[in-house]
Amino acid sequence: MADAAVARSRSYARRERRRRLGPLSVLTHAALMVWTVLVVVPIVWTFLASVKSEDEIFGDAWSLPATVRLDNWARAWEQANVGQYMINSVIVVACSTFGTMLLGSMAAYVLARYPFRGSRAIYLLFVSGLAFPVYLALTPLFFVVQNMGGVPVIGPFIGLNTHGGLILVYIAYSLPFTVFFLAAFFRTLPGAVAEAAFVDGASHTRVFFQVMLPMARPGIISVTVFNILGQWNQYQLPLVLLTSVKDKWVLTQGIAEISADAGYDADWAALFAALSMAILPMLVVYVIFQSQIQKGLTAGALK
Amino acid sequence: MTPLSRRELLRSAVLAGLALPVASACATPAGDGGTSSAPAAGATSAANPLGLAENRPLEIWIFDGGFGDAYATDIHEPLLKAKYPKLEIKHNATQEIAKTLQPRFAGGNPPEFINNSGANAMDFGALVQDGQLADLTPLYDAPSWDDPTVKVRDTIDPSAIELGSYDGTPYVLNYVNTVWGIWYSQKLFDDNGWRPPRTWEAFTALCEEIKKAGETAPFTYAGRHPYYIYEAILTLAAKIGGKDVLKNIDNLEEGAWTAEPVKQAAGAFAEIGAKYLMQGTAGLDHVQTQTAQNKGQVAMLPCGSWLENEQKDTTPEDFGYAMFALPSFTSSDAMPYGTLHVQPGEEYVVSAKSANPRAGMEYMRAMLSKDGAGDFMELVSTLTVVKGAGEGRTLKPGLKSAAKALLVAGDNAVWFLFRKWYAELHDEVAAASGQLMNGKLTVDEWAERAQKKAESIKNDSSVKKFKR
Amino acid sequence: MRFAVGFLVLPVTLYVIYVIAPYAQAFSIALTNWRGVNASPRFVGLENFRRLLEDTVFWKAVGHNLLLLVLLPVLTLVIALFFAFLLNAGGRGGAGGVWGSRFYRVVFFFPQVLAIAVIAVLFQQVFRPDRSGMLNAPLIAMGFEPIGFLSDTDIALWSILGVLVWQAVGFYVVLFSAGIASIPRELFEAAAIDGAGGPPMFFRITLPLLWDTIQVGWVYLGIIALDVFAIVWVMTPEQGGPDYSTTVMAAEIYRNAFEYSKFGYASAMGVVLFFFTIGFAALALRLSRRERIEF
């Protein structure tokens, strides 16, 4: 979307607003504010509880903290390992999203633009994965990953309780969506530029990385955003595949465990602090990149 | 997304869905996970009667619940380490035993020593059936830590061995002796002139009095974990109808749950649930209800003797934990006043397929020493199965009260085992009991649901059955 | 050709090992009474499926999934369309939308960037039944009985639905807003000349032109509804309770496999879930075919 268009529509909107600030507009904003409150209040409430004392948390939910207790945050950070979990999540999601996009776009590109005998079957194999419930595969998947741990040399890096293993599984389970989506995208790209490159003597690989991939950028961004969100949210797969080594856990596991912990240790303040720590960076990152994220999402989905 | 491609997606998903079952006919389950053969014991000697292998590490997993895990790191592990300095001990603790360790068992590389406790404990029945647990007979036949002329089995409460046995083979060490009862604050009771009731009438009268006073709710339980209430129901049922009531339940006998004493007990507590429960009980967990008691919001709750320790951070100085046994339902109860639910518990196991099972057993031997058990009692404030471990130790008021109740009960101790044997039955009874207390199930519906589940387990050929 | 193979070999290998093989195995495990690695699985034919027919808890779970399958998309899409409509003033505002629409879009999207497990823990606190629960505190202060959002069997599932909708709406608001913004302004202007106001314009222009996007949303949300797990597992008492009033197929599969070690039985449940998903996909396909004007 060109900036000029945005600017134009902004000025248009401004004119529009001046023209009619009638009762309808008030109602519109009232309705929008209701949902805003619904979204924001639980989050703000969590932040507030994170600086309350234990007594205040057990007291009236809407009371304000008498003093701001940052020691809750320190406790959550040290004891609950939130920092470690977050770093783990970032590592896993960064690697797996990169891997997903690389492998997914390669497969999608070939399947979309180089038809050969059986290519359609492979395409269907990938796409059919979209409809499989992951819960069906859970048990056998556990044993597959465990057996991979026995592979010579690389085994120790991709077995159970390794980030490598989890990353490979994330990639594999993100491929159906990625391939399906990107294949559709690659099909729509014009072939002229690629042909010109071939005439210049470029290899297929080079054409892919230097011509086609850049051309597919809107689609790539949009799928990347989807994959990051999806993999960041994963709870089920790490629950099964990363169980026994706490220091490798991802954030979702960590938060769920802290919630179970609070049942025994009764450190509710630290629970809220940990929750806030899990929420805050995501919101900050999102707010910084929100326009790219929203554009990316809609560019793909509306195509 | 173009309409065409979306349709394509759906169609191919359907096609693949039909093709897959056919393809899978060729595949087989992973089957035997390729576990290495269980390592034999090392050389035994008088100093090392179980033949622990010092060159292999000992991996320990402690359930980080009411007892915490300091007792392992500060008492038992140093005890073993002092004897075997070369042994490497890998200590771990978690709240979620099953979630954390089940996959390791399934994967054939389980840790040596596990404290399989808590709400998320692994299903013992399945572990035994799967051959995952080491037979502890060598441990019980070994000389005790303190006196080589006395066997380990003679230094502990025999019920601990019995309760840890499956079809006569001891697989599980029950280390802690737990007694259940109704807990209250001595101070609150003294201040108001309330007295622990001995009959059900007196109990409901007390509830009524507390309710009228209006300051405190009479009764609560951990609503999110209805085990806490069905425990009380079953104990009362045994008191009304005798020990066989629970035995029949454990043995999945026909009509065990619909028996009159069970229904009477359920009805009695359902009435408490309808009239005297603290507001919001159904949505609160054990810590929330127990904290409410510490804050004087509720007078009584059913719990086990770990309570005092679990609440140590929120209990006011002068709270004065104390407990009483379930009141007599009628004067014709089969068992006398003072009958207690006593259960050696806090289960410890050694996994048969771990790399160093004998080290796990040796660790247990250290736990069962006088020092190991005595220090444990003082640290976590609970009873143990080791005879006389509390001698000469100073105990907190709640523990003192529990020890006294245990003494009064004598042989009138009852227990049930289906919770460990059939996790499914436990889940079903817990779910139904919560609804019984909320008034959403009648006593008959409650009993029938439990009975139905018991029968379905009985008919499930894949579940191994146990008898007591 | 060599290039094509080179590009495909890694993704396909990975996919076959980690996705296809486990799924294929699951079907055969469903025909055994497998309870653990060392107990060798015994073939029991359709025994697990026969037992499944009598398993009231599982059918309860199926019922909950189906309820969510209907209500989650309907509620989410209706609410999202409503807000998207408001944000864009029925489309008349063009790409800019009403004043502050950018702010609203950003805020509405917040729940989408939070992990579901985090949301589950957060709402567990919001829903607490005592004075310290965000929603119950004002109720109690006003002298009402607290609502057992998660502890009342008649309410708990609605609380789950509420949280799911809470999370999903923002995404579709953004999606639909972009959709409305991409509708050529002349269409709205023409309608305005014809004298159409806000709501009629919405039904005559906006809705039909967004129909494709709405269908995509319906399919996504349907799949989410069939796959609900973390929110139930982390947030509810008795993990799917109280008294199984919030349990879903995925939770029963997990419970039976990883808590009762009934791997065979759990796989049978997985197979049923699989056919539900396929069935849903087939249904979606049929419906969308009937209504589409091919081009």
Domain range annotation of chain C:
9-291
* B267 and B164 fall within a common domain: no
- A166 close to A241: Cβ distance less than 8 angstroms: yes
What is the DSSP code (8-state) at residue B351? B
* B6·C241 Cβ contact <8 A: no
B330 assigned to some structural domain: yes
* B170 and B203 fall within a common domain: no
pLDDT at residue C289 in the model: 57
* B117 and B252 fall within a common domain: no
Q: For an interface test with A, which of C1, C13, C14 has the most A Cβ atoms less than 10 Å from its Cβ?
A: C14
* C175·A297 Cβ contact <8 A: yes
- C126 close to C36: Cβ distance less than 8 angstroms: no
* B145 and B63 fall within a common domain: yes
Start-end of H helices in chain C: 2-15, 21-29, 47-54, 56-87, 101-113, 116-126, 136-141, 156-181, 185-193, 198-201, 207-226, 230-235, 249-258, 263-291
Host H or E run for residue B304: strand B298-304
CATH 1.10.3720.10 residue spans of chain A:
80-266
Query: In this structure, what token pair is assigned to residue C176?
Result: 């639909």
Is the pLDDT at A12 greater than 70, yes or no? no
- Could you read off the pLDDT of C123-162 as tens digits, one per residue? 988 998 888 888 988 888 888 888 889 988 999 999 999 9
Tell me how many domains chain B contains.
2
Share of chain C above pLDDT 70, in %: 91
* C260·B123 Cβ contact <8 A: yes
User: The domain containing residue B238 runs over which residues?
Assistant: 179-341+416-458
Chains contacting C (3 or more CB pairs within 8 Å): A, B
Chains contacting A (3 or more CB pairs within 8 Å): B, C
Q: CA B345 from chain center: how many Å?
A: 6
In chain B, how long is the greatest CA-to-CA distance? Answer: 84
* B122 and B218 fall within a common domain: no
B168 assigned to some structural domain: yes
* B161 and B188 fall within a common domain: no
Could you give the count of Cα atoms lying within 13 Å of C7 in the half-sphere of its Cβ? 26
**Residue B106: its chain C contacts at CB < 8 A?**
36-37
**Residue C284: its chain B contacts at CB < 8 A?**
10
- The pLDDT confidence band at residue C63, using thresholds 50, 70 and 90, is very high
* A294·C174 Cβ contact <8 A: yes
* B190 and B301 fall within a common domain: yes
| Distances, alpha carbon C177 to alpha carbons A222, C80, C86, in Å | 16, 9, 9
Owner of token pair 């970032």: A90
pLDDT at residue B23 in the model: 36
- B427 close to B230: Cβ distance less than 8 angstroms: no
- B33 close to C28: Cβ distance less than 8 angstroms: no
Start-end of H helices in B256-299: 260-275, 286-294
* B347 and B295 fall within a common domain: no
pLDDT at residue B241 in the model: 93
B38 assigned to some structural domain: no
B323 assigned to some structural domain: yes
User: The domain that contains B357 carries what CATH number?
Assistant: 3.40.190.10
The verdict on A26 touching C (C-beta cutoff 8 Å) is: no
Q: Could you tell me whether strands B89-94 and B58-63 are parallel, antiparallel, or unpaired per DSSP bridges? A: parallel
* A128·B15 Cβ contact <8 A: yes
**Residue B423: its chain C contacts at CB < 8 A?**
259-260
| Alpha-carbon span A25 to A8, nearest angstrom | 21
* B319 and B271 fall within a common domain: yes
Question: What 3-state class would DSSP assign to B111?
Answer: coil
**Burial per residue of A35-56, b for 16 or more beta-carbon CB atoms within 10 angstroms, e otherwise:** bbeebeebbebbebbbbbbbeb
| Alpha-carbon span B111 to B119, nearest angstrom | 20
Burial class from Cβ neighbours inside 10 Å (0-12, 13-18, 19+) for residue B408 reads middle
A80-266 classified as CATH 3.40.605.10: no
* B103·A180 Cβ contact <8 A: no
For B139-249, where are the E strands, in sequence order?
165-166, 169-170, 172-185, 217-219
Question: What 3-state class would DSSP assign to B249?
Answer: helix
Residue of chain C whose alpha carbon sits nearest to that of B435: C243
| Alpha-carbon span A3 to C82, nearest angstrom | 27
* B184 and B174 fall within a common domain: no
Average pLDDT (C66-80) is: 95
* C146·B280 Cβ contact <8 A: yes
Lowest mean pLDDT among A207-216, A258-267, B230-239, C74-83: A258-267
- C72 close to C161: Cβ distance less than 8 angstroms: yes
Is the pLDDT at B217 greater than 90, yes or no? yes
Is the pLDDT at B336 greater than 80, yes or no? yes
Average pLDDT (C120-125) is: 88
* B159 and B291 fall within a common domain: no
Residue of chain B whose alpha carbon sits nearest to that of A57: B288
Q: CA A74 from chain center: how many Å?
A: 27
| Total beta-carbon pairs less than 8 A apart between chain A and chain C | 295
B252 assigned to some structural domain: yes
Is the pLDDT at C71 greater than 60, yes or no? yes
Contacts 24+ apart (CB under 8 A), A100-104: A100/A170, A100/A171, A100/A174, A100/A175, A100/A178, A100/A227, A100/A231, A101/A178, A101/A220, A101/A223, A101/A224, A101/A227, A103/A171, A103/A175, A103/C10, A103/C11, A103/C14, A104/A174, A104/A175, A104/A178, A104/A179, A104/A182, A104/A223, A104/C11
* Total residues found in chain A within this entry: 303
Q: Could you tell me whether strands B172-185 and B169-170 are parallel, antiparallel, or unpaired per DSSP bridges? A: unpaired
Q: Of 1.10.3720.10, 1.20.1630.10, 1.20.990.10, 3.30.70.2740, which CATH number belongs to C9-291?
A: 1.10.3720.10
| Alpha-carbon span B184 to B322, nearest angstrom | 6
| Alpha-carbon span B461 to C32, nearest angstrom | 11
Query: In this structure, what token pair is assigned to residue A4?
Result: 């000029």
**Burial per residue of B220-236, b for 16 or more beta-carbon CB atoms within 10 angstroms, e otherwise:** bbbbbbbbbbbbbbbbb
B312 assigned to some structural domain: yes
B156 assigned to some structural domain: yes
Q: CA A201 from chain center: how many Å?
A: 39
* B32·C149 Cβ contact <8 A: no
- Could you read off the pLDDT of C139-148 as tens digits, one per residue? 888 888 888 8
* B80 and B153 fall within a common domain: yes
What average pLDDT does chain C have? 84
- C98 close to C285: Cβ distance less than 8 angstroms: no
Is the pLDDT at B104 greater than 60, yes or no? yes
- The pLDDT confidence band at residue C87, using thresholds 50, 70 and 90, is confident
